Amino acid sequence: MAGSLGGWGVLVTRPDHQAGPLCRLIESHGGTPIRCPALLIREPRDWAAALVVFDGLADCDMAIFTSANAVERAWPPIQQRGGLPPALEIAAVGKATARKLAQFGVARCLQPESDFSSEGLLALPRFQRVAGQRILIVGGENGRALLADTLTARGARVDRAEVYRRERPTADGKRLLERWARGEIGAVVVTSTEILLNLFDMLSEPGQDYLRDTPLVATSPRTRQTAAEYGCRRLLLSENASDDAIVSTLLDLAANPSSVQFGDAI
């Protein structure tokens, strides 16, 4: 991955504990990462329901992990109960989730081949034949209902284990405005729709105007569409949510900034 970001400031909105690798990669290509976490990951309000489900893992046919946070938060109580049953199938919504599972010793898991989303997972042949099977979805509180609703409609018995909750943080809006006014923020990276919506809520009206006029890299068509609906005018879509794909998109933009005109979405 050749090229240089030429000192560009890139607003990185991932949760702070997950932003380090992307920030280091941006720096290695001559950019200046500007951390602005637009999502906080907290303990769930109540572990009881999730622990009951984990006690019955041996009765499940499959466990779907919806995020790397879900893996990280669920792993300690699962290990306390003897680990994952050998016959349990494991699925991951995206590459980051699969990588986190691999860190904990899960070498093989079902995952989408290209569309790293709930829709991509549901399109796999394995998920067309789930009638009568018990499937556990491990994720955060108030997550998308698409997986559970679709699998239930296909005849599966679906349980949920909510192992974390998401909160919107506060931001130093004045400092961000000053950096935008000085031309220090050349691009913004948003890796989920919730992060995008939180960012809008965290900014004042002048900050929202700056955001709408700044090249914004989204990692899913759904997030890009939401950004367009909120008035963002310079939208780019990375191939996936990996750090390499995000920085590759930023490098393409830095090499040819005029390629993204106002109103474009590529």
> What are the residues whose beta carbons fall under 8 Å from the beta carbon of 258, sequence distance 6 or more?
none
Give the CA angle between residues 13, 15, 18 to the nearest 5°: 110
**Residue 112 and residue 184 in one domain:** no
Q: Is residue 130 part of a domain?
A: yes
User: Nearest 5 degrees, angle CA 240-CA 98-CA 75?
Assistant: 135
Pair 113, 202 in one domain: no
Q: In terms of pTM, does the model score above 0.95? A: no
Tell me how far apart the alpha carbons of residues 264 and 25 are, in angstroms, rounded to a whole number: 26
Q: Which of 166, 182, 215 is the last residue of a domain?
A: 166
Check whether residue 146 and residue 209 sit in a common domain: no
> At CB < 8 A and 24+ separation, what contacts does 121-129 make?
121/64, 121/91, 121/93, 121/147, 122/146, 122/147, 122/150, 122/151, 126/91, 127/151, 127/154, 128/154
Q: Which of 138, 166, 194 represents a domain boundary (last residue)? A: 166
Range of the domain at 102: 42-166
State residue 116's pLDDT score.
Answer: 75
What is the share, in percent, of the chain residues with pLDDT greater than 70? 96
- Counted residue by residue, the chain has a size of 266
Of 166, 193, 227, which residue constitutes the final position of a domain? 166
Q: What is the CATH number of the domain that holds 149?
A: 3.40.50.10090
Statement: residue 59 has pLDDT above 60: yes
pLDDT in tens, 125-169: 999 999 999 999 999 998 788 999 999 999 999 999 999 999 999
Has residue 247 got a pLDDT over 80?
yes
Does 182 lie in the same domain as 259? yes
pLDDT of residue 1: 58
| Residues facing 86 on adjacent strands | none
pLDDT digits (tens, 9 = 90+) for 220-238: 888 999 999 999 999 999 9
Same structural domain, 53 and 160:
yes
What's the rounded mean pLDDT across residues 14-30? 95
pLDDT at 262 over 80: no
